[in-house]
Amino acid sequence: MVNIGTRISELKLRNPTILASGILGETSGSMKRVASCGAGAIVTKSIGMKPREGYPNPTAVEIECGILNSMGLPNPGIEEFKKEIDEIDEIDIPVIGSIFGKDEKEFAFLAKKMEEYGLDAIELNLSCPHARGYGLEIGSSPDIVREVVREVKKKVSIPVFPKLSANAGDIVDIGKAAEEGGADGVVAINSLRAMKIDIHLKKPILYNRVGGYSGKGIKPVAVRCVYELSRELDIPVIGVGGVETWEDAVEYILAGACAVQIGAAVYYRGLSVFAEICEGMKRWMEENGFESIEDFRGVALK
């Protein structure tokens, strides 16, 4: 009998598909819908200290092999977000609170709030490619990453997963700093810094000019990051970037991931994407004689 349950630190997931941050994770209603469609866990939209409107439109555009977005981290702020969390009691899968801040104090404060609200783990967004002061300025420095993780770990007892960028120097150096700070796992990767120019208007399409590239086009970069991190770190790695099919998910697990997050594919394939990936993965495991995710996790590293 094939079992696709997986473990990330102390979090137990009934399957390895997780809703990525920023995709339907802002309201209780959308999180309940995702849970009912078979996801193994949910990551909330990244939440900061205060409400933020984000950038003016255009904030997103479909491009070759994916989506380019520069939302600018719009969110209701941590106090207001409690109302949404208070309404997700019936969700019976882990909900991971994503947070962003400008320094270790803000991250620690936000993490504590998320723990008090009853969430199961924290994802630290250290890698937003387009929000000045909140993203790569923090996630590019091993020293700052180590410090942020350390401060957060002092404040909470639930697992903490920093989300890393492939735009921040050597991702393994950053991953090691996160591990030294006490991270319970790392998430790789956030969307990649990119640009689309309208050749008729002769200027960048997005209001913010630069955005984050998500979807199929970034998958080879993300798989490489997961592979390198899995080889060098002792903590679990969660893969994200371009997962659309069960084949994509299997590839990430072979590269060492214990679970995958799904973002842009929710727009392309709808909410059935979680169940479809699980079904395909089960069939593939049966055909290959694997009984659990651990039986083939990281096989490509050998």
Residue 233 CA to residue 178 CA, distance in Å, equals 10
Is 125 an interacting residue with respect to ligand FMN (CB under 6 A)? Answer: yes
CA-closest candidate to residue 69, choices 20, 31, 110: 20
Is 91 within 8 Å of 35 (Cβ atoms)?
yes
Is 131 within 8 Å of 73 (Cβ atoms)?
yes
| From candidates 114, 194, 258, 264, binder to ligand FMN by CB under 6 A | 264
Is 119 within 8 Å of 43 (Cβ atoms)?
no
Is 130 an interacting residue with respect to ligand FMN (CB under 6 A)? Answer: no
Is 256 an interacting residue with respect to ligand FMN (CB under 6 A)? Answer: no
| From candidates 6, 15, 141, 190, binder to ligand FMN by CB under 6 A | 190
CA-closest candidate to residue 232, choices 154, 151, 177: 177
Is 163 an interacting residue with respect to ligand FMN (CB under 6 A)? Answer: yes
CA-based R_g, the chain, Å: 18
One symbol per residue from 28 to 67: x for binding ligand FMN (CB under 6 A), - otherwise; what is it? Answer: -----------------xx-------------x------x
Catalytic annotation present for 128: yes
Is 71 an interacting residue with respect to ligand FMN (CB under 6 A)? Answer: yes
Q: Work out how close the CB of 263 gets to ligand FMN at its nearest, in angstroms, rounded to a whole number.
A: 3
Residue 281 CA to residue 264 CA, distance in Å, equals 20
CA-closest candidate to residue 247, choices 279, 221, 218: 279
Q: How many chain residues touch ligand FMN (CB under 6 A)? A: 26
**Which positions lie near ligand FMN, rule CB under 6 A?**
20-22, 45-46, 60, 67, 69, 71, 73, 98, 125, 163, 190-191, 214-215, 218, 240-243, 262-265
Q: Which active-site residues does the annotation give? A: 128
